[in-house]
Structures are given as structure tokens and as C-alpha cells.
């Protein structure tokens, strides 16, 4: 058995503004360590002993090619394939591009590039649990055992067991309201959808043929007319632009009979907000998490993230302070979803 | 009668760090308006009709000569004398240097360069009240009618009336503790010492001769050996270094029989802290005072002062946010005296 790490770097989120911006989104930034989220993701399969590992395939926005090359090489990853999308078409087509580049019997371990997983042994065990079904052609997703009624994540409702530590996927649930989130948490049998998948390349392409033939054709054509240059693969823009845009969860897994879920508790977070970053970061005894030059006097439960300027805090509590690229943002901890309001307001300023 | 505005720009305070620094102290910064505190001070006698006005004399740290030239010229002040101290010796010697440059019968209106006066008509009236005694050789100071038991200011205890709206100076009181401040406020007859004075040049020099002959000799010698270059006057360093260092209040006025005080309510502040700047600044309906590019969403009672980077506040209250020269300082409103702790800690960082 051979696993290809397939890393999806399509995001351009602005939820971590002013650090994360379209030209350098979250996955290309060092947020939780000196390594960027992408670099951490590339390192996530190191030491996995349950299968052989091939060179990774990274699927990314063409605008980020040189940053990604630089970051992979800094991580000591010299051999990889970088598929550079001319346009974003969500995850199902991105994975299809990678599947065509894999051998049919290769296992594709699909990972978003902008999440963190604190407990790698648990992740590796979950992969091992998935292998028997994956070998039989199942499409497997890894679901995070929830510990709070999160409304910021999608959920997966699991059905009956179909293997050791593996359950059938009953359905995918979009981000719920708090009432439904609480209900799912108390019912059990629901896990967070982390967007991490494992399947054989041929199984994915067959599922694509069954459920999304138009997607299969468009991605195939965009590769037939693609340009290759060293480690870079440029799918044809016109063909790829014809491709329907949808996520692998909804376009494929939800329609697929052989879809399974491995529930796992592995210290996962999508670091989807500054509050989330604060909670997953190393904190001092006063609850402060800091990156960058700083001086804290009588501060507690603050997140400080600076790309240069020194930040001094005196007698303040529960603040998120982000200094990046000529912007200083200060917001109350617990309110970081309001970054969206900020970016929307700033768009309107000429 | 002829008045010479004598502006003292000797301060190098760090209470407004990180904006105010030795190389560009408070008086050379635009804090309350687009004009710097020095520029506001130079404009403070404009329109005064009670006497003729001569070109100003500015006494400053030699290190600031070009900034001061630039700021005076930007304010349309082309004719002035800039006395550049090789070393700081407090206010009594600084005023002596200016007194030697004045005609004996000239009136010197001595003003610190880093205060604000919101009600200029009241200031001008107070000057007029002082003129009769000043003409007779009295040394007059202007005392601010207190409206709070301030512990950050020195006080002047006034004695019996010696003119219309003028009282004798009984004694100067150093910055009091809060108990004594409350007592003085309730007793009345105490005013804040604003460091603003009016006297004839010859009266000042005679007082100096009586009470501080060593100071008189040292300043005189430093001028005899001085260098003149255009509008610049450089007193001799060695002679000036021999001069005792003391304030005009304690070295002269407290020892002088003919010392009077004009109490005045003129919207004065020494802007001695970020809290003080917040309280004297124009505020929006939510109590925010802002300078520089900013976006405020649900913020209240905040001071924002930025020399460039845009500052965004979301759902925060009672913060002082200062962004200057590669530093971002955030402190709780009401605690801005703690800037001293910050600057002391930073000194220790290599």
C-alpha cells in the first residue's frame, strides 16, 4: 500500500485579517509555530509506518506558486507535484486533478493545508483504522469527536459500524445553529467534518464518474491540455473553468454508498478565527498567547500577533491584538467573528 | 509696552512614549491638532491687543534646532531668536539667557512649549490684569483655577490681593498627595502652577542678581562667549555647564517679595499623560478621541493615536492605543501613568 499526501491549498480566507490576505492566506503563514500551516501539514505524515509514502501533491492557487515552492523547500521537501489551479473550483475538482496524477491503486490522503492536528499519533492510528475499508474501495473521511456545541463547523452524522473504529456516513450537516449543535453533541454519533479524506485514486475517479461526470470530463480535459514545467502542473484554464464547483463532501461522499467515517480525537482545529488561534496556542500562566516582539505588564487572556512592531500591553484583559502589514486590529476576545464586519467595511473604503 | 513671547522648549519627557521620545519630545509633536504644541504656543499671543508684540525668543535643546526652525517657518514665523542650550539647566537659567537678549524694559511672557490653552481670550485677559504690576517690576505667574484634586501638578498658594485680579504669591507647593490636593481644592486660594510668567527683563535680571548671583554670572559668561549664526544663538557650553540648575519658581519667585499670581480659568492642560490627552481632545459621541487612519466599530471611551498604521477597534472600551515608530502600546484608560514602568522596562532590554 502506498499513500500520497494530497494537500489542498485553495483557501483565501479573510477570517484572520489583517494577517491572512488573498495574496498570502492562512495556510502560508506561521500562526501556531515557526512553521507555516502548510509546512506543518506537509510534515503530518512523517513517521507514519502503516504504509509507504509517496511524494506529496499540492493543489493550490496559481498565484501562490513561488511562496509554496519556497516553503516546501524550506521544510526539506524537494520532490513534490504542485498543481496550480487557474481558478478555484472547490475541493472535488481539486482532488480529481490529483487523482489523475496518481496511480490507480495509490491511496490519497487528502488534507486541507490550514488546519492543525496536535495529536499526530491519534491521526496516524485513525489512518490505520481506515486502511482495510479504503483498500476495498470505500471513501473514508475522518470526523472529529466534538467536545463543544460548535456552530462554526459542519457535522457528519454517522450510521452503523462498518469496520473496526469506522462507521458508515449517514449524512453531512451544514454548520448548525446553536440549538441543533447542542442536540447533535448530546445525541452522540455526530462528529465535526474536518475535510480530511482517504481513498484509492481509482475509487475516487469511479465515484466521480458515477456522481459528477461533468466534473470528471472537465478536469480530465484540463489535464490533457495542461502545461508541465518541472514540479509545476498547470491545468488548462478554459477547460477547468467549465468544471462545476463543489466540495468533495457534497458532490461525492454524500451520494456514495461506500462512504465511511473514522471518528477521532486528535487535537484538531481549523484555526478559523483569532479566538480559535488563541485557544490552540501555547499560553503563559496569565492566559496570554504571543507571537512577535512584545512587552506584557499586567495583561491577561490576550492574544498578541505581530509581524514586526513591538506590542506593549498594560493592564488589559481579553484582547486580541493583531499587527500586520500596516494594520493594527484590536478586538474583544470572544468576538473575533466580527473580523468579517471589519473586512466588509474596509472594502467600501476607497 | 512691548511683550516678547519667550517659549521654553527644554522638555524631553517620556510620559507620552512611544510618540514622545528624546529626539522629538512632546512639544514638537502634533498631539491635539494638526499643529505641534510648539506651533500652538507660538500662535498663542496672536491677536493680543494690550501691548505691542516683538518676535519670539525660543530657548531649546541644541539637538532640536532644525526641527524647530522648520516648525516655526511652517507656522509663518520668520523672525525669531532661537537660543540653543548646549545642556539643560532648568527654567531659571533658560529665562536668563532670553532676558539678556531682551531690552531691559521689554516684558517677557514666558510660556512652556508643551501645554495647551483652550480659552485664549481668558489668557489674554489675564495678561492684561498682570500688566500694571509687571510695569512696577513685579514678577507675575499665571495660576490655573483648579477643578479637581490633581496630584500631577504643583500648586501655588496665593496670599492677599495686590491688584485687580492679582494676588501675592504665598508659596509654591510641590505635587501633593491626594489628601493635600483635596484640602487645597476645598480651601480655595490655591491654583495650579502652569509655569507661565510675565515680567520685565530687567526685573528678572535684578531678581537673579539678588537670589541667584552664580546663575546670573554663568549665563552672562555663556553669552559673552556665545556664537551667533543667523537666528541661532549658541551659548558657550563650558560657562553654561557651570550654571546651577533650578526652576524659576523655586530659584526666583519663591524668594522674591514682589511675586504675584493671576488666577485664571483658561482651559489649560499640560497634556502630561495619554489620559490627559484623551480628556482634552475632541471626542466622538462615544467618547473616542482619534488621530490617524482608523476604523472604530462598537468602541467607546478610547484614545487612538497613530503615526501611520491604520488602527481598527472592535467592541473595546476604555483603551489607550498608541502606534508610533514601530511600537504599539495598548493600556487601560486611567492607567497612563504606567507608561513610566514601560519605558523603564524597555531601557533594560538590550
pLDDT tens series, chain A, 350 aa: 999 999 999 877 678 999 988 888 999 999 988 999 999 999 999 999 999 999 999 999 999 999 999 999 999 999 999 999 999 999 999 999 999 999 999 999 999 999 999 999 999 999 999 999 999 999 999 999 999 999 989 999 999 999 999 999 999 999 999 999 999 999 999 999 999 999 999 999 999 999 999 999 999 999 999 999 999 999 999 999 999 999 999 999 999 999 999 999 999 999 999 999 999 999 999 999 999 889 999 999 999 999 999 999 999 999 999 999 899 999 999 999 999 999 999 888 76
- Are B274 and B320 contacting, i.e. CB atoms less than 8 angstroms apart? yes
Name which of A18, A316, A327 is nearest B330 (Cβ-Cβ): A316
Instruction: Say whether B331 and A315 touch across the interface (CB within 8 A).
Output: yes
ipTM for the assembly:
0.85
* Interstrand relation of B81-85 and B57-61 (parallel, antiparallel or unpaired): parallel
Would you give the distance in Å from CA A36 to the centre of its chain? 13
CA distance A34 to A39: 10
pLDDT, position A350:
66
pLDDT interval class at B144 (50, 70, 90):
very high
CA distance B208 to A121: 83
CA distance A290 to A297: 13
Give start and end residues of each alpha helix (H) in chain A: 37-42, 65-74, 91-101, 120-135, 178-187, 201-211, 213-224, 237-241, 248-251, 274-280, 339-348
CA distance A252 to B74: 69
Question: Rounded to the nearest 5°, which phi and psi values hold at A13?
Answer: -55, 150
* Interstrand relation of B155-163 and B166-173 (parallel, antiparallel or unpaired): antiparallel
pLDDT interval class at B142 (50, 70, 90):
very high
Tell me the Ramachandran region of residue A230: left when phi exceeds 0, alpha when psi lies from -120 to 50, beta otherwise: left
* E strand or H helix at A195: strand A190-200
CA distance A41 to A25: 15
CA-CA distances (angstroms) from residue B215 to B90, B119, B152, B245, B259?
11, 35, 28, 8, 19
A328 contacts on B by Cβ (under 8 Å):
306, 309-312, 321, 323, 328
Instruction: Say whether B328 and A326 touch across the interface (CB within 8 A).
Output: no
pTM of the model: 0.86
Report which DSSP code applies to A13: -
pLDDT interval class at B13 (50, 70, 90):
low
Q: Using alpha carbons only, what angle is made at residue B39 by residues B38 and B45, rounded to the nearest 5 degrees? A: 100
Name which of B313, B327, B332 is nearest A309 (Cβ-Cβ): B327
B345 contacts on A by Cβ (under 8 Å):
295, 297
**Nearest-CA residue of chain A relative to B331?**
A314
**Residue A304 cell numbers, joined:** 498578541
pLDDT, position A347:
86
- The answer, yes or no, to whether residue B338 has pLDDT greater than 90, is yes
B313 touches chain A (CB under 8 A): yes
- Are B123 and B47 contacting, i.e. CB atoms less than 8 angstroms apart? no
Amino acid at each position: 500500500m502506498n499513500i500520497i499526501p494530497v494537500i489542498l491549498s485553495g483557501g483565501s480566507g479573510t477570517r484572520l485579517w489583517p494577517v491572512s490576505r488573498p495574496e498570502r492566506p492562512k495556510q502560508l503563514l506561521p500562526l501556531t509555530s515557526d512553521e507555516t500551516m502548510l509546512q506543518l501539514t506537509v510534515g503530518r505524515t512523517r513517521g507514519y509506518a502503516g504504509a509507504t509514502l509517496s511524494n506529496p501533491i499540492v493543489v493550490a492557487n496559481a498565484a501562490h506558486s513561488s511562496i509554496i515552492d519556497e516553503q516546501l523547500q524550506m521544510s526539506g521537501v524537494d520532490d513534490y507535484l504542485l498543481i496550480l489551479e487557474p481558478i478555484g473550483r472547490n475541493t472535488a475538482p481539486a482532488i480529481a486533478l490529483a487523482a489523475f496524477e496518481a496511480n490507480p491503486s495509490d491511496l490519497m490522503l487528502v488534507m486541507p493545508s490550514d488546519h492543525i492536528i496536535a495529536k499526530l499519533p491519534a491521526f496516524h492510528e485513525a489512518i490505520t483504522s481506515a486502511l482495510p475499508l479504503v483498500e476495498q474501495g470505500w471513501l473514508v473521511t475522518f470526523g472529529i469527536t466534538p467536545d463543544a456545541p460548535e456552530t462554526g463547523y459542519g457535522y457528519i452524522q454517522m450510521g452503523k459500524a462498518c469496520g473496526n473504529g469506522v462507521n458508515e456516513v449517514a449524512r453531512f450537516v451544514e454548520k448548525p445553529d446553536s440549538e441543533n449543535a447542542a442536540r447533535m453533541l448530546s445525541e452522540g454519533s455526530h462528529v465535526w467534518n474536518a475535510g480530511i479524506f482517504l481513498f484509492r485514486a481509482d475509487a475516487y475517479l469511479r465515484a466521480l464518474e458515477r456522481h459528477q461526470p461533468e466534473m470528471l470530463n472537465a478536469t480530465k480535459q484540463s489535464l490533457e491540455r495542461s502545461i508541465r514545467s518541472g514540479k509545476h502542473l498547470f491545468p488548462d484554464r478554459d477547460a477547468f473553468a467549465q468544471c462545476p464547483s463543489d466540495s468533495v463532501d457534497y458532490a461525492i461522499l454524500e451520494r456514495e454508498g461506500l462512504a465511511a467515517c473514522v471518528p477521532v480525537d486528535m487535537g484538531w482545529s481549523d484555526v478559523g478565527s483569532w479566538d480559535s488561534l488563541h485557544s490552540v496556542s501555547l499560553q503563559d500562566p496569565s492566559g496570554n498567547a504571543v507571537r512577535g516582539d512584545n512587552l506584557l505588564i499586567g495583561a491577561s487572556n490576550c492574544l498578541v500577533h505581530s509581524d514586526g512592531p513591538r506590542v506593549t500591553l498594560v493592564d488589559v484583559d481579553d484582547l486580541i491584538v493583531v499587527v500586520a502589514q500596516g494594520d493594527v486590529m484590536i478586538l474583544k476576545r470572544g468576538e473575533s467573528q466580527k473580523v468579517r464586519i471589519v473586512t466588509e467595511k474596509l472594502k467600501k473604503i476607497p
